[in-house]
C-alpha cells in the first residue's frame, strides 16, 4: 500500500533559505511504499519566496493575505485532507529543521502509529539549543502544557511535526492562530490523540529573524498562556 506524504513548508519571506531547504528535501530517500510531495505555503511574502517555489516545481499555495504561521499551517493541512494524504510533516522554510532528520519522525510513526510526532531539540541536547531566554520560555510552556494535558512535552514550541490522518483531519478544521504550537497540543490532547517526541538535531535559522524576540517574548508568553487556558476550558463539539 502506497502512503502519501506531504511536507508542508509555511513561508514568509524565506527567499534566501528556501532553495537550500528544497534541495535537501530532494535528497531524502524513503522506502518504495512512500510517495513524497512538497507544499510551500507562501504567506503573502514580499520577497521572491513564490518565485523560488515555482522554479523548484513544488506544490504551491499562494495566500492572498498574511495569515500568520497558524493560518499557513492550517491551509497546508486543509490541502492534505482534501487530497487524501496519509501523513503531513510541518517543516520550517528557514533552515532550522534539517530535512535529513525527517526520516526519524517517519520511522517513529511507522513503528508506534503515534498521531502527532514532534521533533525535539531537548531529549539528547544536540545541535542548536536556542537562546537562553527562549529556553526559559520553552521551560515555562513545558510546565503549562503538563498542567493542561498531563503530557511531558519538552519542546512544545517545536514546529517540526508529523501529523497522521486523524491529526490532519482535526488540524484542517481547527488550528490556533499566530504561534500555534503550544496551544495546539491542548487541542490535540483533548481530542484523545497520542503525542510523542523524538530527538532531532536542529540548526540556527539560515537567514532572517525570528518574530519572537525581546519584548515580544513576554507578549508571546502571556498571549499563548491565555489561549492555552481557553482551549483547555472550551467544550469540544
For the chain, give every domain's residue range: 3-233
Q: In this model, does residue 213 exceed pLDDT 50?
A: no
Architecture category of domain 3-233 in CATH: Alpha-Beta Complex (3.90)
Handedness of CA 67, 142, 206, 61 (dihedral sign): negative
C-beta of residue 172 within 8 angstroms of C-beta of residue 101 = no
- pLDDT tier, 6 (very low <50, low <70, confident <90, very high otherwise): very high
> pLDDT for 108-149, tens place per residue?
999 999 999 999 988 766 655 565 566 677 788 888 888 999
Of the candidate ranges 2-6, 167-171, 224-228, the one whose mean pLDDT is the lowest: 224-228
Q: Please tell me the predicted confidence (pLDDT) of residue 205.
A: 64
Neighbouring residues of 72: CB distance < 8 A, sequence distance ≥ 6: 10, 11, 12, 41, 43, 63
Grid cell in block for residue 231: 482551549
Give percent of the chain above pLDDT 70.
89
What is the rounded average pLDDT for all residues in the chain?
89
The pLDDT of residue 31 is above 70: yes
pLDDT band per the 50, 70, 90 thresholds, residue 68: very high
Reported as a single tens digit per residue, the pLDDT across 75-119 is 999 999 999 999 999 999 998 999 999 999 999 999 999 999 999
Would you state the pLDDT for residue 138? 78
Amino acid at each position: 500500500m502506497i502512503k502519501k506524504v506531504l511536507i508542508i513548508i509555511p513561508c514568509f519571506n524565506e527567499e534566501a533559505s528556501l532553495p537550500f531547504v528544497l534541495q535537501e528535501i530532494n535528497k531524502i530517500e524513503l522506502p518504495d511504499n512512500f510517495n513524497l510531495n512538497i507544499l510551500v505555503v507562501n504567506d503573502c511574502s514580499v520577497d521572491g519566496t513564490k518565485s523560488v517555489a515555482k522554479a523548484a516545481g513544488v506544490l504551491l499555495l499562494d495566500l492572498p493575505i498574511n495569515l500568520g504561521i497558524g493560518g499557513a499551517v492550517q491551509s497546508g493541512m486543509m490541502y492534505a485532507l482534501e487530497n487524501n494524504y496519509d501523513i503531513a510533516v510541518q517543516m520550517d522554510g528557514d533552515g532550522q529543521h534539517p530535512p535529513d532528520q525527517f526520516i526519524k519522525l517517519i520511522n517513529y510513526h511507522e513503528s508506534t502509529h503515534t498521531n502527532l510526532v514532534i521533533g525535539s531539540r531537548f531529549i539528547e541536547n544536540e545541535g542548536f539549543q536556542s537562546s537562553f531566554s527562549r529556553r526559559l520560555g520553552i521551560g515555562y510552556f513545558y510546565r503549562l502544557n503538563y498542567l493542561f494535558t498531563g503530557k511531558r512535552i519538552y519542546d512544545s514550541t517545536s514546529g517540526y511535526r508529523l501529523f497522521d490522518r486523524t491529526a490532519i483531519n482535526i488540524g484542517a478544521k481547527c488550528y490556533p492562530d499566530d504561534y500555534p504550537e503550544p496551544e495546539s497540543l491542548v487541542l490535540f490532547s483533548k481530542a484523545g490523540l497520542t503525542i510523542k517526541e523524538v530527538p532531532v538535531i536542529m540548526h540556527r535559522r539560515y537567514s532572517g529573524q525570528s518574530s519572537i524576540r525581546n519584548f515580544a517574548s513576554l507578549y508571546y508568553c502571556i498571549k499563548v498562556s491565555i489561549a492555552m487556558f481557553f482551549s483547555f476550558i472550551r467544550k469540544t463539539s
